Chains A and B, each alone.
Chain A
Amino acid sequence: MTSLTLVRRIKARPDIVFDALVTPEGIAQWWGPDAGPVLVAQSDPRAGGRFKVRFRLLDGSEHESAGEFLEVDKPRLVRMTWRWTTGGADPGESLVTMALRPVPEGTELTFTHARLQDEESRLSHEEGWIGALDKLEKMFG
């Protein structure tokens, strides 16, 4: 329920896609959602390495997100924690997984963003049962 998966087929080989996803040079190119600039792109893509991206939108607002790489297996898999570090309400820490698979036209990228347990606990505290519900859903897969 509270995880999002997007699948893309990209006409580029996995190592190119992988580098685009995790290197500072790559991140600087695509992270901004509009023509606003990426101001900071720090990334140390190895287990335990940190990640920080700050960007400015065309409306002038600046946003920053950061996280830690949990697993980096070039060119197949990246798992990392992720959270907003600017802005008002902190929506909590979440988990981003990017899995790459070679396909004839290039790479199939399966991108998953999932809320983490600590956030579920916070929500379940606020909302009663959503955390338990998610646990149940995971159990039944």
Chain B
Amino acid sequence: MARASEAVLNRTFAALTDPTRRAILARLEKEPGLSVSELARPLAVKLPGVMKHLDVLEDAGLLSRSKHGRTVSVSLTPDPMREAMAWLRHYERFWTVRLDRLTAYAEAKEARRSGK
């Protein structure tokens, strides 16, 4: 893959600073090909606002839209983004399970110590 120009990088980075846009990307990572209205439904932003966010993300090369009849479906495009999210999801599962066990262990230990 050719190295992206600084302008593209800036645009990509700017796209990621917004929590609504990050939420959109996270959702698309789990459910690729959602329609725009499905994507907008759980968000606190109205449809025109969502469209603007999608424009920004598409300009940044992070997603693509395709039209099937009257429905526009949205998917993530870039491998780097997908790869980063796979990493996050993997380790989130990994550490969540461990921290559950750690919590149970530490709380049992505290209960024993306080009980004395």
Stretch at the interface among B30-38, B40-48, B68-76, B102-110: B102-110
A136: Cβ under 8 A from any B Cβ? yes
Contact A137 B13 (CB under 8 A): yes
Chain B: residues with Cβ within 8 Å of the partner, total of 35
B23: Cβ under 8 A from any A Cβ? no
Chain B nearest Cβ from A99, distance in angstroms:
13
Q: How would you classify the secondary structure of chain B's contact residues: helix, strand, loop or mixed?
A: helix
Contact B99 A106 (CB under 8 A): no
Contacts of A11 in B (CB 8 A): 107, 110
Contact A17 B95 (CB under 8 A): no
Chain A: residues with Cβ within 8 Å of the partner, total of 36
Number of A-B contacts (CB under 8 A): 97
- Given A109-B99, A129-B80: A10 and B106 within 8 A (CB)? yes
Chain B nearest Cβ from A96, distance in angstroms:
9
In the complex formed, the residue of A with least CB distance to B2 is A128
Chain B nearest Cβ from A53, distance in angstroms:
10
Contact A20 B102 (CB under 8 A): yes
B9: Cβ under 8 A from any A Cβ? yes
Residues 70-101 of B, flagged 1 when their CB comes within 8 A of A and 0 if not, give: 00000000011001100110011011111101
B residues at A contact (CB < 8 Å) = 1-4, 8-10, 12-13, 16-17, 79-80, 83-84, 87-88, 91-92, 94-99, 101-107, 109-110, 113
A residues at B contact (CB < 8 Å) = 1-2, 4, 6, 8, 10-13, 16-17, 20-21, 26, 29-33, 91, 106-107, 109, 111, 113, 115, 123, 127-130, 132-133, 136-137, 140
